[in-house]
Amino acid sequence: MKALRILSGIEIDEASVDLHHLTELRKLAIYKLNTKGSTANFKDLISSIEYLGGYSLQTLVIDDESSEFIKSLDDLSSPPKFLIALELSGKMAKLPNCLQHLHTLSKLTLSVTALRTDNLKDLSNLEALFSLTFSFREKGQDRETLAIVAENKMYSKGKVTVPADGFKSLKLMRLFVSGLVLPLLSFSNKAMPELERLELRYNMLEGLYGVENLAKLKEVHFTSDAKANEGTMTKDIVAEINNALSINGKTSKIIVHN
């Protein structure tokens, strides 16, 4: 077991979990985390991630519906400094502080509950980041998640703004949201200067502004999971984007998937 390099798809509950001995581990994926902060296994898992992060851990995936464990990542005295890919799913509005120290991080996936203007500002400082995804997988009517998304919209003054500059290496941005309204997204002038591909999958999209400000954008992909009336809204948004691109002399492709 000490030479194990991939530990994926595991569920962690109240049983003891000590992974300190897996010093060759490259990928750890926990797809169901059900543990409380006061338990010994919770503390063991935090300690294990901190310890393995100083060795060879490169990919970390945590699905934590309560986000109690995700919040505890701020307790790490040393973040996993060799991480290349990180995926955090849960009801989180604020980002773990340790994210700003992940200088080798290339691929990041977060819950859509973290899609906020202030979070994007913080993420823009990750100079190695190549791919950024915000996602949500519908699991029935989730009132808490709906409330967080609504509060985030109010916090960001009705829209989510991508800041100017930053995101020096970002080529791909994806927003995959099933069962929730994707809030209005606005790209500032000189935002994401290297972005080449933008993908959106949603039931309802409030709007998309400033696409013409993305200097190296090649493609924008729209996929609506909703019914026909939402298709009309998508057409209106696409028409507005095409008009803005034309005015600014841009040749980005707008692709609508049925």
pLDDT tens track for 175-186: 998 777 888 999
Q: Are residues 68 and 152 in the same domain?
A: no
Contacts 24+ apart (CB under 8 A), 11-14: 12/41, 12/45, 14/39, 14/41
Q: Is residue 227 part of a domain?
A: yes
d(CA 249, CA 123): 29
Q: Is residue 158 part of a domain?
A: yes
Q: Domain boundary residue among 87, 105, 123?
A: 105
Q: Are residues 236 and 145 in the same domain?
A: yes
Q: Are residues 96 and 145 in the same domain?
A: no
pLDDT of residue 168 exceeding 90, the answer is yes
Q: Are residues 148 and 238 in the same domain?
A: yes
Q: Domain boundary residue among 51, 86, 105?
A: 105
Q: Is residue 13 part of a domain?
A: yes
Q: Are residues 153 and 255 in the same domain?
A: yes
Q: Is residue 170 part of a domain?
A: yes
Q: Are residues 65 and 161 in the same domain?
A: no
Q: Are residues 146 and 90 in the same domain?
A: no
Sheet containing strand 219-224, strands side by side: 6-12, 27-33, 59-63, 85-89, 107-111, 131-136, 172-177, 197-202, 219-224, 253-257
pLDDT of residue 199 exceeding 60, the answer is yes
Contact 197, 225 (CB under 8 A): no
Tally the domains of the chain: 2
Q: Are residues 42 and 98 in the same domain?
A: yes
10-43 pLDDT tens trace? 777 666 567 888 888 899 998 877 666 556 677 7
User: Which of 73, 79, 153 lies closest to 118 in space, CA to CA?
Assistant: 153
Structural domain boundaries enclosing 156: 140-258
Q: Give this prediction's pTM.
A: 0.91
Q: Are residues 155 and 255 in the same domain?
A: yes
Q: Are residues 83 and 158 in the same domain?
A: no
Q: Is residue 21 part of a domain?
A: yes
Q: Are residues 150 and 246 in the same domain?
A: yes
Q: Which residue has the tokens 């002399």?
A: 249
Q: Is residue 88 part of a domain?
A: yes
Q: Is residue 3 part of a domain?
A: yes
Contact 46, 17 (CB under 8 A): no
47-84 pLDDT tens trace? 888 888 878 899 999 988 777 888 888 878 888 888 99
pLDDT of residue 190 exceeding 70, the answer is yes
Q: Are residues 73 and 149 in the same domain?
A: no
Q: Domain boundary residue among 105, 132, 148?
A: 105
118-167 pLDDT tens trace? 999 999 999 999 999 999 876 655 788 888 888 888 887 888 999 999 99
Q: Is residue 232 part of a domain?
A: yes
